[in-house]
């Protein structure tokens, strides 16, 4: 099976593409050729689908290393299909599913089940580090690695016992997988609601201080150093924790980290209304922390952006802020919001933003043949129209969670097509999106 994409403008910093007009030939799910022009007569002589993409941008399919699909056990909030549609709508072709589910993802049956249900994109389940995320005993790591798990996390909880985490880090080196740590001490100012600061004091709610994150970040970096292993610190939000990670990298400690779009775009001042839609973990931090994250992103020191897409029932997010669950949606809005905030304003290049969503996470997490517009790579491609305009409303969302802090915001640009393994899995036509219910190759 062959597919030809004609005339799209390619963007991929890793391959030196900055909007050059190229043709892409896809064969059996892989990129076969990328050339200025591919002979149409030659490809028409065989069974080949041709897409005219003149005026449109072509990116590697986006990769999210931190997604909550709520499966199994909470499918009223999200399920594999609705989450997949949300991911494709946002341009994502690969997502890592967090294991804080019911039951937690932690054995061979779970990975088989999720793989069977993943018909539109690659959903990579992460295993718990400890049984049921309770922090008392490691899962059978050797067995899980043999079953196909390559990422382990107790996300939603940090591993409280440093000796247990150290043991897991030693095993990660032995079996070549990566530990992703939830970098916040949930016992640090228990029942915290938003960031500890002037807004929490004004609202008279308990705050969560920066130190709840930085203490865990410091501990985990030191444990990775002792184990001589790699570690990934997820959703960092404070100046101090990121500085710890950057200094550790300079000292050749194998640490990486991600930040979320909402910590780049929002801060604790958004919580003044007490609207739980802004209640996230880690909390939206101070304006100073937000500005530091933005500066580091624009300087290229933040290499991975993860959505932490965490859908809940709308009625839950309408509870009092002290009772509502932590979480925000992100799969469908991340690229569009960051494109409008940082690229259209010329604060950074489109290529720099894309690297945080494509090649950088692919390289760190060893997703082979992904994240680049390169010959012989998997044909996971996102097609973007920079000129179309949209408004974020409930009807915008394919996630079951049809709420957002950005509601009624007008944005420029739209994901118009997504190819997974060379197959068209999302197609936008006259303002509507069509998803193709076909199993992947």
DSSP one-letter string for 215-239: HHHHHHHHHHHHHT--EEEES--SH
Q: Which of 255, 276, 72 is nearest to 172 (CA)?
A: 255
Q: Which of 64, 66, 65 is nearest to 310 (CA)?
A: 66
Cβ neighbours for 180, distance < 8 A, ≥ 6 positions apart: 65, 66, 126, 151, 152, 153, 155, 231, 232, 233, 234
Catalytic option among 185, 258, 308, 380: 308
- CA-wise closest residue to 423 among 55, 51, 97: 51
Query: 254 an active-site residue?
Result: no
Report the DSSP pairing between strands 381-391 and 410-420.
antiparallel
Angle between the N-to-C axes of helices 211-227 and 162-175, in degrees from 0 to 180, rounded to the nearest 10: 50
Which phi and psi (to 5°) does residue 196 adopt? -75, 115
Nearest to 393 by CA among 372, 408, 378, 375: 408
CA–CA gap between residue 333 and residue 339 (Å, rounded) = 10
Whole-number Å distance between alpha carbons of 189 and 210: 11
From residue 80, alpha-carbon distances to 77, 121, 400 in Å are 11, 10, 11
DSSP state of 136: S
Alpha helices in 283-406 (DSSP H): 287-298, 334-338, 350-357, 359-364
Residue 379 corresponds to which tokens in the numbers above? Answer: 């044909």
Strand partners, 51: 5
Q: Which single residue is written with the structure tokens 């996630």?
A: 399
Give the active site residues. Answer: 308
């Amino acid at each position: 099976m062959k597919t030809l994409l004609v005339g799209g403008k390619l963007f991929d910093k890793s391959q030196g593409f900055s909007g050059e007009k190229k043709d892409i030939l896809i064969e059996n799910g892989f990129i076969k050729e990328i050339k200025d022009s591919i002979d149409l007569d030659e490809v028409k002589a065989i069974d080949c689908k041709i897409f005219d993409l003149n005026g449109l941008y072509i990116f590697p399919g986006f990769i999210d290393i931190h997604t909550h699909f709520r499966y199994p056990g909470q499918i009223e909030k999200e399920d594999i299909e609705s989450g997949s549609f949300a991911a494709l709508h946002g341009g994502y072709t690969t997502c890592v599913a967090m294991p804080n589910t019911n039951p937690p993802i932690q054995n061979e049956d779970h990975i088989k089940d999720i793989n069977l249900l993943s018909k539109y994109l690659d959903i990579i389940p992460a295993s718990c580090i400890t049984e049921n995320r309770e922090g008392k005993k490691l899962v059978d790591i050797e067995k899980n690695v043999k079953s196909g798990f390559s990422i382990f996390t107790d996300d939603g909880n940090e591993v409280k016992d440093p000796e247990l985490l150290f043991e897991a880090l030693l095993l990660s080196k032995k079996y070549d997988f990566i530990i992703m740590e939830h970098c916040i001490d949930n016992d640090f100012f228990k029942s915290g609601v938003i960031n500890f600061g002037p807004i929490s004091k004004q609202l008279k709610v308990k705050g969560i201080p920066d130190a709840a994150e930085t203490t865990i970040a410091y501990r985990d970096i030191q444990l990775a150093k002792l184990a001589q292993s790699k570690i990934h610190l997820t959703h960092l939000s404070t100046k101090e924790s990121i500085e710890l990670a950057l200094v550790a990298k300079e000292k050749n400690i194998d640490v990486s980290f991600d930040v979320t779009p909402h910590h780049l775009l929002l801060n604790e001042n958004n919580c003044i209304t007490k609207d739980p839609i802004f209640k996230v973990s880690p909390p939206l931090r101070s304006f100073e922390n937000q500005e530091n994250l933005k500066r580091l992103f624009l300087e290229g020191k933040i290499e991975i952006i993860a959505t932490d897409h965490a859908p809940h029932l709308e009625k839950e997010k309408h509870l009092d802020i002290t009772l509502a669950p932590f979480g925000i949606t992100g799969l469908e809005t991340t690229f569009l919001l960051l494109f409008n905030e940082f690229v259209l304003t010329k604060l950074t290049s489109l290529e720099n933003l894309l690297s945080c969503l494509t090649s950088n996470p692919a390289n760190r997490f060893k997703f082979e043949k992904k994240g680049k517009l390169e010959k012989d790579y998997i044909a996971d491609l996102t097609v973007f129209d920079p000129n179309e305009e949209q408004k974020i409303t409930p009807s915008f969302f394919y996630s079951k969670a049809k709420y957002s802090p950005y509601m009624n915001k007008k944005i420029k640009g739209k994901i118009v097509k997504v190819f997974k393994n060379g197959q068209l899995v999302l197609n936008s036509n006259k303002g509507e999106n069509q998803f193709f219910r076909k199993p992947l190759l």
